[in-house]
């Protein structure tokens, strides 16, 4: 019985040793990704456009998994400068002893998690044995990051910059460990004032009414000021002075027929005098039936 135990123990040790050796060999021979670049552009509607550039130089013919996400749209894959259709298991067969280039791009709708006024982007790096990684995320326009919150960006980025319109988060890594989770938490830079759209509309309407009232009052005061403008008497003839004084005595308005009866001037003379006064912009004539109403626009500086 003791021999039987020893036999089973030896067999178990041998299987464990072979398994470990196989694992080491597999890890050692896993295809190295020479260069991996991931570009993510997050849109305001919480969708994102992602593009991935991969360079590999395998020694043997190898199957490579491009790890397509779920619910993607607008997928495009270019392998060695040729557009291809992916297989059902997302596998690309690499050419041995050659530089293999893979470019993948797609759109993911509703990819961003929303919590209250914050938005969270998360991605797990599943590609193994990456020698050089560049990972860049471009936030939507008018969105930013709270620098005081240490959990805003994980892991700590290499660069945090802006192109003048959008914030860019960038990581540059040598041989990153996998799996690794990248996280960016951001929020809108436009603060809500707390007013509803209805209140804003009411305030806008009140503002328009106020401006209209100011305009009307200003126009009325301007017309009043015009009557108060005075001109030197040296610019008028004696007859013109007489007519202007009569109009002023009537409150600034008088019918043309009444001028004839008051002055005793003929209609022709009255018409000539009024025409001269009108040219000098002292009066204006408004038709009323078969006659005119004469309005004094300026006073004489006696």
Domain boundaries, the chain: 30-188, 227-300
- The correct answer on CATH 1.10.10.10 for the domain covering 227-300 is yes
> Residue-wise pLDDT tens for the chain (302 aa)?
544 444 545 555 455 544 444 443 333 357 899 999 999 999 999 999 999 999 999 999 999 999 999 889 999 999 999 999 877 778 999 999 999 999 999 999 999 999 888 999 999 999 999 999 999 999 999 999 987 777 899 999 998 988 888 999 999 999 999 889 999 999 998 865 455 556 666 777 788 888 888 878 877 665 554 445 566 666 788 888 888 888 888 888 998 888 888 888 888 888 898 888 888 888 888 888 878 899 988 776 65
pLDDT for 221 equals 61
Asked if the domains at 30-188 and 227-300 fall in one CATH topology, the answer is no
CA 183 vs CA 101, 124, 156, 186: distances in Å: 27, 9, 10, 10
Structure tokens at 179: 């799996």
Gap between the Cα atoms of 134 and 169, Å rounded: 11
For residue 66, give the nearest of 53, 57, 49 by alpha carbon. 53
CATH architecture of 30-188: Sandwich (2.60)
Residues listed for the chain: 302
pLDDT for 32 equals 93
Q: What is the pTM of this model?
A: 0.56
């Amino acid at each position: 019985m003791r021999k039987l135990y020893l036999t089973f123990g030896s067999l178990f040790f041998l299987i464990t040793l072979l398994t470990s050796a196989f694992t080491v060999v597999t890890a050692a021979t896993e295809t190295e990704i020479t260069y991996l670049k991931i570009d993510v552009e997050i849109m305001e509607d919480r969708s994102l456009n992602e593009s991935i550039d991969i360079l590999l130089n395998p020694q043997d013919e190898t199957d490579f998994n491009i790890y397509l996400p779920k619910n993607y749209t607008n997928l495009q894959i270019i392998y060695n400068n040729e557009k291809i259709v992916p297989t059902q298991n997302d596998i690309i067969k690499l050419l041995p002893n050659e530089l293999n280039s893979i470019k993948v791009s797609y759109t993911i709708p509703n990819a961003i998690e929303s919590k209250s006024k914050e938005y969270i982007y998360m991605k797990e790096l599943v590609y193994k044995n990456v020698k050089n990684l560049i990972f860049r995320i471009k936030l939507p326009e008018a969105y930013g990051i709270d620098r005081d919150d240490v959990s805003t960006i994980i892991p700590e980025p290499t660069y945090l910059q802006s192109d003048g319109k959008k914030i860019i988060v960038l990581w540059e890594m040598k041989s990153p460990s996998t799996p690794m989770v990248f996280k960016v938490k951001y929020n809108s830079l436009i603060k809500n004032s707390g007013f509803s759209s209805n209140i804003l509309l009411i305030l806008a309407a009140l503002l328009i009414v106020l401006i209209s009232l100011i305009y009307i009052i200003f126009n009325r005061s301007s017309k009043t000021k015009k009557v108060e403008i005075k001109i030197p008497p040296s610019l008028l003839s004696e007859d013109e002075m007489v007519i202007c004084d009569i109009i002023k005595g009537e409150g600034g308005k008088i019918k043309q027929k009444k001028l004839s009866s008051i002055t005793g001037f003929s209609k022709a003379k009255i018409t000539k005098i009024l025409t001269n006064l009108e040219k000098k912009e002292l009066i204006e004539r408004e038709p009323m039936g078969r006659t005119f109403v004469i309005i004094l626009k300026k006073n004489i500086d006696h």
